Amino acid sequence: MIHAIKGMNDLLDEDALIYEKIIKTSEEVAKTYGYSYIEVPHLEVTPLFKRSVGESSDIVGKEMYEFLDKGGDSVCLRPEGTAGVVRAFIERKMDKAGVVKRWFYHGSMFRYEKPQRGRYREFHQFGLECFNIASVYEDASVIMILARIFEKLDIAYTLKINSLGSPECLQNYRAALRDYLTKVESNSDFKFCEDCAKRRLTNVIRVLDCKNDNCSKHLVNAPKLSEFLDDESRADFAKLQEILKDNGISFVIDERLVRGLDYYSKTAFEFESSEIGAKAAIAGGGRYDYLVEYLGGAKSYGVGFAMGVERVMDILKSKKLEQKPQNTYFCVLDTELLELAYKLVDDLRKAGKIINLSYDAKKLIKHLNTADKQNYKYFIAIGSDEASKNEVFFKDLESGEQKSIKYEVLKEIL
């Protein structure tokens, strides 16, 4: 038997319904904030991700599905959504024209990670990106979009926010952090872990992400990013907090919430949920005012987020979702009535009614049993008696009410 690749899952039945519900809810909310749908390819040239996600990141360093295509070009299955959207923005010269764009996307991302619950090699993100708006009100809006999505899906979360300041602030902070790490090691026997040693060379800020308890303990007194913020970043961060408070969004400030790369600036945020046991990040995002330039475009402001759909699905699966009954089960008692039923059903489908037509002719009671088992809302059967009077047998399976009704009335009842 041929199996699916490890860490890559089929999506069907109840999972597919939950997936659809998450995407539909997210789209609806994003649209109310002026965002519209964008689709970009799953496969892009490798340098796009090496530049945007950064060679020092685990994603590019260890996890990319990277290969040479038949033409000998190095390509990658996208590990995240922002890079492709930024490329599309630049390719259409919207950067040079200073166009304001608000786009949302959803689809598969690919990372060669160790598969486990909540961590897959093919997973889905719903994300959005806004270009050319400098106002911190948009940062608040992208956070509020997520808050509203989780509210609508009835998911409890913790929102963590931080400000990274400008690239200059980060530059100064990096130097201070490096000094601090050196001081800790020279004043004690303690050595930061191997990963941290690498991060110190490639991207020192990522030391703050270290999950090793010993490293964490020795980072408690590390310099704080907030001490390095310039006036504008400080004012924007204060304003962001004010907007969130005014709009009833609770948050905590997490000084260790960072994104390692230079083109991220000011707002950084993460939504966590502990509804499925251990705390897990369900979405993250922030401002990236230098990324468009970094990828060869003209200076353009940017802010966005990505939400992990599987993690949200896991939370919803752990709750009992009310199972909406399917719409209508339609059947015939005699084979020769199938053509008539087929036409009637087609008419109803044209009117947008959702109908499952059974092609088997069998006794009424047997059809009723099948419909009951499959959780239908309505049951309709045609026997020769009904057909001779242009009627069908109708039963509301929820209320139990049953009657004969004329063909013409069906559209109104279903």
Question: In terms of DSSP bridges, do strands 391-396 and 402-406 run parallel, antiparallel, or are they unpaired?
Answer: antiparallel
Per CB under 6 A, the segment of 213-221, 295-303, 305-313, 360-368 that binds ligand AMP is 305-313
Question: In terms of DSSP bridges, do strands 280-287 and 265-273 run parallel, antiparallel, or are they unpaired?
Answer: antiparallel
Nearest-approach distance from CB 62 to ligand AMP, in angstroms? 12
Give the C-alpha separation, 302 to 325, whole Å: 43
Alpha-carbon distances, residue 101 vs 14, 38, 135, 163, 406 (angstroms): 35, 11, 14, 23, 52
282 lies in the site for ligand AMP, by CB under 6 A: yes
Residue at token pair 């996600």: 53
Nearest-approach distance from CB 139 to ligand AMP, in angstroms? 16
The 8-class DSSP code of residue 285 comes to E
Nearest-approach distance from CB 213 to ligand AMP, in angstroms? 22
Residue selected from 94, 146, 208, 306 as contacting ligand AMP according to rule CB under 6 A = 306
125 lies in the site for ligand AMP, by CB under 6 A: yes
Nearest-approach distance from CB 187 to ligand AMP, in angstroms? 35
281 lies in the site for ligand AMP, by CB under 6 A: yes
Quick one: which of 50, 108, 103 has its CA closest to 75?
A: 50
Angle, alpha carbons 95-96-98 (nearest 5°): 65
311 lies in the site for ligand AMP, by CB under 6 A: yes
Residue 302 — φ and ψ, nearest 5°? -150, 145
CA 322, 328, 333, 339 torsion-angle sign: negative
CB-nearer residue toward ligand AMP: 129 or 310: 310
Give the C-alpha separation, 165 to 170, whole Å: 7
CB-nearer residue toward ligand AMP: 257 or 368: 257
Which helix (H) or strand (E) covers residue 81, if one does? none
Kindly state the tokens that stand for 177: 């952090």
Residue selected from 138, 275, 289, 310 as contacting ligand AMP according to rule CB under 6 A = 310
Q: Which positions from 68 through 87 interact with ligand AMP, judged by CB under 6 A?
A: 80
Helix, strand, coil shares, percent, the chain, to 5: 45, 25, 35
Per CB under 6 A, the segment of 64-72, 304-312, 332-340, 401-409 that binds ligand AMP is 304-312
Residue selected from 21, 42, 51, 119 as contacting ligand AMP according to rule CB under 6 A = 119
Nearest-approach distance from CB 240 to ligand AMP, in angstroms? 19
CB-nearer residue toward ligand AMP: 60 or 169: 60
Nearest-approach distance from CB 121 to ligand AMP, in angstroms? 7
Residue selected from 308, 314, 387, 414 as contacting ligand AMP according to rule CB under 6 A = 308
Q: How far is CA 21 from the centre of its chain?
A: 12
Give the C-alpha separation, 50 to 52, whole Å: 6
284 lies in the site for ligand AMP, by CB under 6 A: yes
The residues binding ligand AMP (CB under 6 A) are 80, 111, 113, 118-120, 123, 125, 281-284, 306, 308, 310-311
